[in-house]
């Protein structure tokens, strides 16, 4: 952080600023020019409280933040890309990864039948919710532990790592027993207790962007997980709420290069929750490949009209096969490969 004093600030005014900076635990390096004094602030941790305090002083002209408010997720902290191994697959490596599955696990027949098809069509990972964050308390809330068991069994049978959502810190231990990757959903992106709890596991975490979260908010939430010692975080862009009402959310594809410019963590795209529309998912999945994402996360259901959650946005297996084909063709043209 660099503080630029107003022209001809007095010694007392300068001392007041340095006292505040030191109060917050930072060191100061001042450059005293003829007319203006510039104060460099050095130290670790989030400088925001110090910055806000100094910025409000009348003798201060401007304050510029130099390093990002996050540390472990930043590129400054880790140069290369972080590759995350999820029980046999790698996210953030050379290959683009496709995770697919139903919104919710609904029955053994449903998840096994679908997993068989998805595996044959080339999906690497299997998703399926057992604990569902629903807008209405009267909607299907997920199968709970039984759903976790069915998902794990299907994943093991077809050699697909499984990812499923955990909504509450008290569920982490249970979900950790069955899942290969813990999903923190959009509604919980700023559930800080949950972030700390998944940060204490040794499982990879899929952290979805909150529907009103900025890219910086997303990175700050990831920082909570890394700060607990778990560096295996995959970010997920799944659209944000805007005034547009013809799509479920608005997919911010720029978040992909935006995150990559600031962080070493992988980022995948979820065109299903981002658009809520099967007719838009294929183009947005291709766009994710073109944008340089590390993968996609797509909802598929064999019978969407009977789905207990998110049926209207689910792709049918043949539609998913077509998306796979298109993504492969595009990836080939770009010199990339899909796992």
DSSP states along 244-276: --SSSSB--TTHHHHHHHHBSS-EEE-HHHHH-
Nearest distance from residue 22's CB to Mn ion, in Å? 50
From the list ligand PEP, Mn ion, none, which binds 328 (C-beta under 5 to 8 Å, kind-based)?
none
Q: Is 248 in the site for ligand PEP (CB under 6 A)?
A: no
Query: Is the CB of 53 or the CB of 302 nearer to ligand PEP?
Result: 302
Q: Where are the beta strands (DSSP E) in the chain?
A: 2-5, 27-32, 37-42, 60-64, 84-86, 89-91, 95-101, 125-127, 162-165, 181-184, 205-208, 233-237, 267-269, 295-299, 337-338
Strand partners, 237: 269
Q: Which one of residues 237, 310, 324, 330 is an interface residue with Mn ion (CB under 5 A)?
A: 310
Q: Is 130 in the site for Mn ion (CB under 5 A)?
A: no
Q: Which one of residues 37, 47, 103, 226 is an interface residue with Mn ion (CB under 5 A)?
A: 103
Which pair of structure tokens corresponds to residue 86? 């999820």
Q: Which one of residues 73, 172, 186, 225 is an interface residue with ligand PEP (CB under 6 A)?
A: 186
Query: Is the CB of 264 or the CB of 301 nearer to ligand PEP?
Result: 301
Q: Which position has the token pair 């560096």?
A: 231
Q: Is 106 in the site for Mn ion (CB under 5 A)?
A: no
Strand partners, 95: 337
Size of the site for ligand PEP (CB under 6 A): 9
Asked if residue 205 lies in contact with residue 191, where contact means CB atoms within 8 angstroms, the answer is: no
Q: Is 93 in the site for ligand PEP (CB under 6 A)?
A: no
From the list Mn ion, ligand PEP, none, which binds 185 (C-beta under 5 to 8 Å, kind-based)?
ligand PEP
Q: Dihedral of the CA atoms 190, 191, 196, 202 (nearest 10)?
A: -90
Residues of the shown chain interacting with Mn ion in the complex, contacts defined by CB under 5 A: 103, 310
Residues of the shown chain interacting with ligand PEP in the complex, contacts defined by CB under 6 A: 103, 129, 133, 185-187, 208, 238, 273
């Amino acid at each position: 952080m660099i503080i630029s004093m107003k022209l001809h600030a007095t010694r007392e005014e300068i001392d007041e600023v340095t006292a505040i900076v030191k109060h917050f635990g930072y060191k100061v390096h001042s450059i005293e020019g003829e007319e203006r004094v510039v104060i460099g602030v050095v130290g670790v941790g989030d400088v925001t409280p110090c910055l806000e305090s100094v910025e409000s002083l009348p003798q201060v002209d401007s304050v510029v933040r130099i390093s990002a408010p996050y540390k472990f997720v930043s590129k400054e902290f880790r140069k290369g890309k972080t590759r995350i191994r999820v029980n046999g697959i790698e996210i953030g490596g050379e290959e683009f990864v496709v995770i697919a599955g139903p919104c919710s696990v609904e029955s053994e027949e449903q998840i096994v039948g679908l997993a068989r098809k998805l595996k044959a069509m080339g999906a690497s990972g299997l998703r399926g919710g057992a604990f569902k964050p629903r807008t209405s308390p009267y909607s299907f809330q997920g199968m709970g532990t039984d759903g976790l068991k069915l998902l794990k069994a299907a994943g093991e049978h077809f050699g697909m790592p499984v990812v499923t959502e955990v909504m509450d810190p008290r569920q982490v231990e249970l979900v950790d027993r069955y899942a290969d990757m813990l999903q923190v959903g959009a509604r919980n992106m700023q559930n800080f207790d949950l972030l700390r709890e998944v940060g204490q596991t040794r499982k990879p975490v899929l952290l979805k962007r909150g529907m009103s979260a900025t890219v910086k908010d997303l990175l700050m939430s990831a920082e909570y997980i890394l700060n607990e010692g778990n560096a295996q975080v995959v970010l997920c862009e799944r659209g944000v709420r805007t005034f547009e009402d013809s799509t479920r959310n608005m997919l911010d594809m720029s978040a992909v290069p935006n995150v990559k410019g600031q962080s070493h963590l992988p980022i995948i795209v979820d065109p299903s929750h981002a658009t809520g529309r099967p007719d838009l998912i294929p183009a947005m999945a291709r766009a994710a490949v073109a944008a340089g994402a590390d993968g996609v996360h797509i909802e598929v259901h064999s019978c969407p009209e009977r789905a207990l959650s998110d049926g209207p946005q689910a792709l049918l297996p043949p539609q998913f096969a077509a998306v796979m084909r298109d993504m492969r063709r595009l990836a080939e043209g770009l010199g990339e490969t899909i796992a």
